[in-house]
Amino acid sequence: MPSTLLKNARIATMVETADDYGMIEDGAILIENKEISWVGPAQAAPSGDTTVDCDGVLMTPGLIDCHTHLVYGGNRAREFEMRLNGVSYEEIARSGGGILSTVNATRDASENDLVTSALPRLDALLCEGVTTVEIKSGYGLDVDTECRMLRAARALQDRRPVDVVTTFLGAHAFPPEYAGDRDGYIDLVCNRSLPATAQDGLADAVDGFCEGIALSVAEMERVFDAAQALGLPIKLHAEQLSNLGGAAMAARRGALSADHIEYLDDDGVRAMAEAGTVAVLLPGAFYYLGETQKPPVEALRKKGVPIAVATDLNPGSSPVHSILSAMNMACVLFGLTPHEALCGVTRNAARTLGKPDRGEIAPGKRADLALWSAAAPGELSYPLGFNPLKAVIRAGELVRGTL
Ligand code: NIG
Ligand code: FE
């Protein structure tokens, strides 16, 4: 494959060794075989088979939304109204609404319905420079629908220029048919749903919702035993509404990430630091649920826990279809710096997905690049509702905009 040299770019490499954005002001990148083979100052650049002048554009790694639930049936606009009329998220969940209302609508949807309804949501992310997206199941809660959701998620990458990383979330809630039999449902997850998805290669990781309204720590441990026996990496929705110690349990088992973590305590922070588990902050859910307890950002920083940021795009707690807004909210609501927010949707997001081949602009990484009409990388977190994306290159190919 011929090589391409992109020159005259301001490159925010986001490499780990740099203590800022890893900026190269008058930079160039050589792309060969879908990968970055060289990056550095333009005057030292090797020559390529073709050369493109980028006209001083700002370049970052392609963005990674590492936590979404964007495949689902129906919507929950009615519950949004209920919450604003004084009914809490937990009350709605306990009365059979919430996640379970999306379960009903998702069970009624065909794979094609799920793909069709997910495409506009995915498009909203892609038009902000997302090149990799994680998508969870968890609105089926039976063997067939969990598999169907994951097949729909995988099918999206045949329809759009994006890499989809899938996560099995059968341990999201208890379905109505197992209302009085929690152990029976965990048996189903461990012995049937999870093996079925694993057998068909449908899941890249296994997640759960550890919370008073969902699974207990002990129940989650059973699911993680089954996942780890199948060789699948684990992650967890933890400490979102209360502190059950789920994040520490997941970290001690080597989890890729613990997500939400507003109620994480010092023991949880320590366990995550020791294990290298990434803290995934989801400011969209915090915002929509009117939460006031903030994740312990300062403690995470002090202990060196890597921080990622994601939309949590879902019909209930976070109908947020904008990764740039999630970055802005992480800064304004949680006090992240714009640099931390950008690390959170590039390098650290890649880590939560177990994908060391992306998230930085460096030799050997995938040539997934977002090009912006912005003077500096901090500007990506600064506005709300403004999109400065100019172009996207995925695996070395221009897939959006012009250079
Ligand atoms: O990440 N916390 C649990 N799961 C989702 C919410 C799902 C829903 O409300 O539909 C979340 O916030
Ligand atoms: Fe979530």
pLDDT in tens, 163-174: 999 999 999 999
Verify that 248 and 344 share a domain, yes or no: yes
DSSP notation for 85-153: TT--HHHHHHTT-THHHHHHHHHT--HHHHHHHHHHHHHHHHTTTEEEEEEE--S--SHHHHHHHHHHH
With a pLDDT cut of 90, the percent of the chain lying above it is: 95
**Same domain for 149 and 77:** yes
Q: Verify whether ligand 1 is closer than 6 Å to residue 106 (CB atom).
A: no
Q: Is 55 exposed, middle or buried (0-12, 13-18, 19+ CB in 10 A)?
A: exposed
Beta bridge partners, 167, equal 136, 205
Residue having the nearest C-alpha atom to atom 8 of ligand 1: 316
Tokens 């073709």 — which residue?
Answer: 50
C-alpha 271 – ligand 1 centre gap (Å): 24
Q: Angle at which helices 99-107 and 143-159 pack, to 10 degrees?
A: 80
CA of 67 from ligand 2 middle (Å) equals: 6
Name the closest-CA residue to atom 9, ligand 1: 316
Which backbone phi and psi does 233 adopt, to 5 degrees?
-70, 155
On whether both 205 and 73 belong to a single domain, the answer is yes
Q: What is the mean pLDDT of residues 43-69?
A: 98
Same domain, 32 and 114: no
- What is the model's pLDDT at position 170? 98
pLDDT at 138 over 80: yes
Same domain, 36 and 113: no
Cβ-contact 392, 401 below 8 angstroms: yes
pLDDT at position 17, please? 77
Residue 102 CB less than 6 A away from ligand 1: yes
Query: Does ligand 1 have an atom closer than 6 angstroms to the CB of 99?
Result: yes
Q: What is the pLDDT of residue 374?
A: 97
- What are the tokens at 306? 């890597």
233: its two tokens:
């990496």
Question: Which secondary structure element, helix H or strand E, spans residue 5, and what is its range?
Answer: strand 4-12
Mean pLDDT of the chain: 97
Q: How far is the CA of 237 from the centre of ligand 2 (A)?
A: 6
Pocket residue to mutate for ligand 1, from 172, 317, 320, most atoms within 8 A of Cβ: 317
Q: Both tokens of residue 195?
A: 């093996």
184 and 312, same domain (yes or no): yes
Does the pLDDT at position 321 exceed 80?
A: yes
Give the pLDDT mean for 253-263.
98
Distance in angstroms (rounded) separating the CA atoms of residues 20 and 112 = 44
**How many angstroms separate the CA atoms of 12 and 23, rounded?**
5
Query: What tens digit of pLDDT does each residue of 192-241 get?
Result: 999 999 999 999 999 999 999 999 999 999 999 999 999 999 999 999 99
Query: Which of 34, 33, 26 shows the shortest CA–CA distance to 7?
Result: 26
Over residues 124-137, the mean pLDDT reads 98
Predicted local confidence at residue 222, as pLDDT: 98
Q: Is the CB of 316 under 6 A from ligand 1?
A: yes
What's residue 384's pLDDT? 97
> Judging by DSSP bridges, how do beta strands 35-41 and 23-32 pair with one another?
antiparallel
Token pair for 186 = 């965990």
- State if residue 169 touches ligand 1 by the CB under 6 angstroms criterion: no
Tokens of 54: 């980028």
Tell me: do 78 and 42 sit in the same domain. Answer: no
Atom of ligand 1 lying closest to residue 240 CA = 2
CATH of the domain at 20: 2.30.40.10
pLDDT of residue 217: 98
Taking the whole predicted model, whether its pTM rises above 0.95 is answered as yes
Q: pLDDT, tens digit, for every residue of 302-316?
A: 999 999 999 999 999
Q: Give the residue ranges of DSSP H helices in 173-317.
A: 182-188, 194-199, 217-229, 246-252, 266-275, 283-288, 297-303
The residue range of the domain holding 393 is: 4-61+359-401
Contacts of 237 (CB under 8 A, 6+ apart): 207, 208, 209, 210, 211, 214, 259, 260
Examine the domain organization and report whether 13 and 161 are in the same domain. no
User: Would the CB of 209 count as within 6 Å of ligand 1?
Assistant: yes
Taking residues 318-338, what's their average pLDDT? 98
Q: Which of 352, 368, 388 is the last residue of a domain?
A: 352
Structural domain count, the chain: 2
Q: Is the pLDDT of residue 19 over 80?
A: no
- How far, in Å, CA of 260 to CA of 258, rounded? 7
Cβ atoms of residues 206 and 224 within 8 Å: yes
pLDDT for 69-111, tens place per residue? 999 999 999 999 998 999 998 899 888 889 999 999 999 999 9
Q: How many CA atoms lie within 13 A of 108 on its CB side?
A: 9
Please tell me the predicted confidence (pLDDT) of residue 204.
98
Task: Yes or no: say if 52 and 402 are a contact pair by the CB < 8 Å rule.
Answer: no
Same domain, 14 and 138: no
By C-alpha distance, which of 211, 191, 188 is closest to 199? 191
Structure tokens at 206: 């296994």
Q: Is 164 helix (H, G, I), strand (E, B) or coil?
A: strand
Task: Retrieve residue 230's tokens.
Answer: 């199948």
Q: 286 is written with which tokens? A: 């915090």
272 phi/psi in degrees, rounded to 5: -70, -40
Query: Which of ligand 1's atoms lies nearest the C-alpha of 285?
Result: 12
Average the pLDDT over 183-191 and give the result.
98
Residue 72 CA: which ligand 1 atom is closest? 10
Same domain, 126 and 230: yes
Residue 138 and residue 35 share a domain: no
* CATH assignment of the domain containing 237: 3.20.20.140
- 17 & 82 share domain: no
Q: How confident is the model at residue 288 (pLDDT cuts 50, 70, 90)?
A: very high
